[in-house]
Amino acid sequence: MALPLMPKATAVWLVENTSLSFEQVAAFTGMHELEIQAIADGEVAIGIVGVNPITSGQLMQEDLDRAQANPAVMLKMHKSDIPLPKARAKGARYTPVSKRQDRPDAISWLIKHHPELTDAQIARLIGTTKPTIASVRDRTHWNATNIKPQNPVTLGLCSEPDLEKAVIIASRRVKAREKAKERAERAAARATAAANAPTPTADDPMIDAADDEMPEDAAAPSAPSNENGGAPPAP
């Protein structure tokens, strides 16, 4: 059975924008119903941008309307002319000449939808260079006026698993940085509070007041006496 080009991103879009059941979405995307439910609950696919299968030509609007009206109807993939990205071997990514003109569009899409990605991650993901990424971000690229953000997966520049892995790594790095910053701020606040705390001294009026309230006979123990009030007899 043919599956969407980006199953998880497609599932995100269907969950957010349609009334399809979990079973219908799972059948169309090739995922498990529990995965679809986890997406609906916000437990997984966090940060993944949904992809509309209709605009990408993988699903017909008529089929979607029919499936939403009848939960027993399952969606069918529409044949698409979008080339599927091939699995790449280890080593530097090679981008075909015919696809290199699409890289600025892919860079613009990644910068817009996944700002947490570093330039190094984007460069590895779609096979580009950091200067090119910087020129697209700063709009100093020679073809900046014609750049239109497009998903690199639909352009065939990378696969959905590679994109999802990069997003997860970047999100974890951002969260770790935020937690480290919070810990540093709390430690600095505690250090500042300890430095500003008053230190008791001998001239402290609170200490002098405490000394004034102490009874005189409590300053030193008195000598023992007998019942008649005199000094105790010698042995």
Let me know whether 61 and 104 are in one domain: no
Does residue 127 surpass a pLDDT of 80?
A: yes
Does residue 109 surpass a pLDDT of 90?
A: yes
In single-letter form, the type of residue at position 47 comes to G
Whether residue 221 is contained in a domain is answered as no
Does residue 227 surpass a pLDDT of 60?
A: no
Whether residue 144 is contained in a domain is answered as yes
Whether residue 235 is contained in a domain is answered as no
Let me know whether 125 and 177 are in one domain: yes
Mean pLDDT of 216-234: 52
Whether residue 116 is contained in a domain is answered as yes
Whether residue 218 is contained in a domain is answered as no
Let me know whether 100 and 57 are in one domain: no
What is the per-residue pLDDT for 176?
Answer: 83
Let me know whether 189 and 131 are in one domain: yes
- What are the contacts of 84-91 at 24+ separation with CB within 8 A? 84/5, 84/156, 85/153, 85/156, 85/157, 85/158, 85/159, 87/159
DSSP code at position 20? -
Whether residue 157 is contained in a domain is answered as yes
Mean pLDDT of 99-112: 87
Let me know whether 104 and 52 are in one domain: no
Let me know whether 56 and 110 are in one domain: no
Does residue 228 surpass a pLDDT of 60?
A: no
Provide CB contacts within 8 A for 29, sequence distance 6+: 3, 4, 7, 8, 10, 11, 14, 36
What is the per-residue pLDDT for 108?
Answer: 93
**Which residue would you say has higher pLDDT here, 46 or 216?**
46
Q: Quote the domain boundaries for residue 115.
A: 94-195
Let me know whether 101 and 134 are in one domain: yes
Whether residue 153 is contained in a domain is answered as yes
**pLDDT tens digits, 67-101:** 899 988 888 887 655 555 554 544 445 555 556 68
Let me know whether 38 and 102 are in one domain: no
Total of domains in the chain: 2
Let me know whether 98 and 63 are in one domain: no
> Using 50, 70 and 90 to split pLDDT, how confident is the model at 107?
very high
What is the per-residue pLDDT for 206?
Answer: 54
Contact between residue 169 and residue 116 where contact means Cβ atoms under 8 Å apart:
no
Whether residue 85 is contained in a domain is answered as no
What is the per-residue pLDDT for 231?
Answer: 54
Does residue 209 surpass a pLDDT of 70?
A: no
What DSSP line would sit under 67-104, residue for residue?
HHH-TTPPP-PPP--PPPPPPPPSSS----HHHHTTHH
Lowest mean pLDDT among 30-34, 37-41, 75-79, 133-137: 75-79
Let me know whether 105 and 169 are in one domain: yes
Let me know whether 47 and 113 are in one domain: no
Q: Where is the domain boundary, 15, 35, 69?
A: 69
Lowest mean pLDDT among 51-60, 140-149, 165-174, 202-211: 202-211
